[in-house]
Amino acid sequence: MAGQSFRTTPVPNLQAALYQLSIRSPGFTLGELATYTFPISPGAIRYDRAGLSSFADTQGTPAQAGVARVIDIYGLAPPVIMIEGTTGWDYHATDGGILTGLQSMQLLQRFLARYAVLNETQRATGSSDYYQLEFYDYFSSQFWVVEPVGPQIVRLAADRPLLSFYRFRWAAVRPVNAPLLGQADALLAVFGTPAQSAAVTAATTVGALLEAYTPVGMITA
């Protein structure tokens, strides 16, 4: 029709493609035990939200063609988050240039294992306070307390033997009101530290950095 225009208008990307996991200490609203920054943006992230409303068809009036539909409204459940990608092979600015992609994958595995062991220790001591695992998606501004569910997959493929890939499934428990660091502060914390300073701050050696997330009793090579 005359006068209508369906042209697109470019939109600048003002969001940081930054993704982090944090373990938050129990009993401390602002307490943080450790944070892992994904060195490369995930290849895919999916948020699956289940609509919990249900319906039942019952006898209706002639105006309803004999069928009345009754709806029970319960709303949307928190999402189940599917995240997959790779940590690459090279060094990355997101960790100060001190970890290779393979070492970053090892760190990610130890990070998740550490979270599990910390809460198992809490349960064993009879404590009702648990550590929280929080996922920060700065790009889409989604911040959730999450819990790993089902297989947490790390794989290698013969066609790309230098790369390792992850595929995780996390059940969101509840929203995080705000991440520990805002977007600007998170970017400064990630990219604003020179590699040498980051190495000193994080650990004196790569081995010590990996050890920081190793659960007690886990044997490392």
Per-residue pLDDT tens over the stretch 36-77: 889 899 999 999 999 888 999 999 999 989 999 999 888 889
The answer to the question of residue 13 being in a domain is no
Q: Which residue has the higher pLDDT, 133 or 220?
A: 133
Alpha-carbon distance 145 to 170, whole Å? Answer: 9
Residue 142's DSSP bridge partners are 137
The answer to the question of residue 146 being in a domain is yes
Q: Which residue has the higher pLDDT, 175 or 205?
A: 175
Per-residue pLDDT tens over the stretch 105-129: 998 998 999 999 999 999 999 988 8
The answer to the question of residue 3 being in a domain is no
| Structural domain total, the chain | 1
Helix (H) or strand (E) holding 166: strand 160-175
Tell me the two tokens of residue 54.
Answer: 């249900």
Domain that residue 41 falls in: 19-55+79-211
- The SS3 of residue 187 is helix
The answer to the question of residue 132 being in a domain is yes
* Half-sphere CA count of 216, side-chain side, radius 13 A: 5
The answer to the question of residue 148 being in a domain is yes
The answer to the question of residue 2 being in a domain is no
Neighbours of 89 (CB within 10 A): 14
Q: What is the DSSP letter of 114?
A: H
C-alpha distances in Å from residue 184, one per residue of 18, 139, 188: 11, 12, 6
**Contact (CB, 8 A) for 210 and 218:** no
Tell me the H-state helices in 15-140.
Answer: 101-124
C-alpha distances in Å from residue 28, one per residue of 24, 132, 133, 170, 218: 8, 10, 13, 23, 27
The answer to the question of residue 163 being in a domain is yes
The answer to the question of residue 217 being in a domain is no
Per-residue pLDDT tens over the stretch 128-159: 889 999 999 989 989 999 999 999 999 988 88
pLDDT at 179: 67
Q: Is the pLDDT of residue 208 over 70?
A: no
pTM of the model: 0.78
**Greatest C-alpha distance within the chain:** 79
- Token pair 């200490």 in the structure block, residue: 25
Neighbours of 15 (CB within 10 A): 12
Summarize the confidence of residues 174-180 as an average pLDDT. 78
Q: Which residue has the higher pLDDT, 25 or 29?
A: 25
Average pLDDT, the chain: 81
